[in-house]
Amino acid sequence: MANVAWIGLGLMGNPMSKHLVNEGHTVKGFDIAPQALQTVAANGVTPTNSIAEACKDADVVYSMLPSGSDVYEVMASPGGVFSSVRPNTIIIDCSTTGINYAKRLHEEAKKAGVVFVEAPVSGGTEGARDATLTFMIGCDKQYADRATELLRPLGDYIAYVGGAGTGQAAKVVNNLIMAVSVTVNCEATALGEMLGLDMKAFFEIATRSSADNWSFRLWNPAPGVVPTSPASRGYKPGFKTWLLAKDLSLALEAGKDVGFKLETAETAYSLMTEHAKDGGADLDATSLVLHLAKKLKQ
């Protein structure tokens, strides 16, 4: 059994770290939010007061943080993970950081004499809870098998994509499709409601028709249609609006880097940021439907 450090214990990190406790590992956790630490203590994670304390004697470090800048700060700043672990320790970051931050982190890790693995995930909080996440690994090939083994308790499809930045490239492209789907699902739901459709009956039609898509089925934007969806619990996240907007911005950045203007992503990004600024940032992203309905009525 291993000594594990887990940094970032929010909506995803909380259920993911719990699976490692259940496997019999000793898990020490750190999060800047005291509430997050309290919640995971009930799962058997030992709360700590600093990154250094969590990483002391760790055989492996996992992280699940909001954005690339957060991960960079947690990993590479003085007192961060890279300077707190033993040489050659493997560090698996599951956050969505974007390609450029991942590449910088691989470089900093090499300089610090530790092993960095990017392993962004897909599958939502449902996948985190059920250990059915898909992982997209980017790292030196020699560490791929070890990283796969360390992620096995958390997911059911673990793909080695390639070297530095490639796991994030797969994640950014995946989330471009997902985020645009969420946006159009919200737009279609707002329109359906304006047209007087019974959205529960429409769900039965659409999920047997050409409109069917993963986020429409799991994260249906209309309250009461899917009992387990964020919409049916007052748009409590789930996947926060600002994080979805961040993922769209990562796709736009990736497009820009290769000279490709992503026009659909631009529209989705602008709607999501507009909604975030209008008070929806920390609600589930499917609450965009409320913002669109408000705009339609104006």
Amino acid (one-letter) located at 59 = D
Residue number, 64 or 102, with CB nearest to ligand NAD: 64
Has 171 been annotated as catalytic? Answer: yes
Q: Which residue has the tokens 């009992």?
A: 227
> If you compute the radius of gyration of the chain from its CA atoms, what whole number of angstroms results?
20
Residue nearest to ligand NAD (CB): 10
**Which residue, 197 or 217, has its beta carbon nearer to ligand NAD?**
217
* Alpha-carbon span 122 to 134, nearest angstrom: 5
**Alpha helices, DSSP H, located in the chain:** 13-22, 34-41, 51-55, 68-76, 81-84, 99-112, 124-130, 144-151, 166-194, 199-206, 214-218, 241-257, 263-275, 288-297
User: Which of residues 84 and 122 has its CB atom nearest to ligand NAD in the complex?
Assistant: 122
Of the pair 65, 92, the CB lying nearest ligand NAD is at 65
Do 147 and 121 contact (CB within 8 A), yes or no?
no
Task: Give residues in contact with ligand NAD (CB under 6 A).
Answer: 7-13, 30-33, 36, 64-66, 70, 73-74, 95-96, 121-122, 124-125, 239, 243, 247
Query: In whole angstroms, how close is the CB of 80 to ligand NAD at the nearest point?
Result: 9
Tokens of 44: 């058997």
Catalytic residue among 171, 256, 277, 297: 171
Name the residues annotated as catalytic.
171
